[in-house]
């Protein structure tokens, strides 16, 4: 299952108010590395979805969200917990490295 898209309108409910940690994948159509990371995130979501919710923000459609969270490079993966960014991962990384970076949320 591919990750749900969130927008400015749904960000509060889907991300900031979530009881579970939420990984937000800031991406765009034109970003090659984003396209490579996307299926890896889908796999992580399938394997660890009960502990970590994974959603996407399209920076073309939601530039205000990208700006608000200081995104200057994509893919950018930010983990939110209790409404705060608690982890920020910049750039496309292979799955074993992503799993290691996310270990505190999925183990």
Q: Could you give the CA distance from residue 39 to residue 94 in angstroms, rounded to a whole number?
A: 11
Q: Please give the structure tokens belonging to residue 64.
A: 């205000």
Least distance (Å) from other proteins to the CB of residue 19? 29
* CA-to-CA separations, 15 to 48, 64, 90, 96, in angstroms, rounded: 17, 15, 19, 25
Q: Is 34 one of the catalytic residues?
A: yes
Query: Is 19 or 32 the residue whose CB approaches other proteins more closely?
Result: 32
Spatial CA neighbour of 31 closest among 77, 84, 83, 73: 73
Cis amide prior to 56 (ω within 30 degrees): no
Query: Is 53 or 78 the residue whose CB approaches other proteins more closely?
Result: 78
**Active-site residue (options: 24, 34, 44, 76):** 34
Least distance (Å) from other proteins to the CB of residue 82? 21
Binding site for other proteins (CB under 8 A): 28, 30-33, 36-37, 40, 59-60, 66, 70-74, 76, 90-96
**Active-site residue (options: 24, 31, 44, 71):** 31
The DSSP code for 107 is -
Query: Is 20 or 29 the residue whose CB approaches other proteins more closely?
Result: 29
Catalytic residues, by residue number, are: 31, 34
């Amino acid at each position: 299952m591919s990750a749900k898209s969130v927008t400015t309108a749904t960000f509060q409910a889907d991300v900031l108010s979530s009881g579970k940690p939420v990984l937000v994948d800031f991406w765009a159509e034109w970003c090659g590395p984003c396209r490579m990371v996307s299926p890896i995130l889908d796999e992580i979501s399938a394997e660890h979805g009960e502990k970590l919710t994974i959603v996407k923000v399209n920076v073309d459609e939601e530039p205000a969200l990208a700006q608000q969270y200081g995104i200057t490079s994509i893919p950018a993966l930010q983990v939110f917990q209790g409404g705060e960014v608690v982890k920020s991962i910049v750039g496309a990384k292979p799955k074993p490295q992503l799993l290691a970076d996310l270990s505190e949320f999925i183990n």
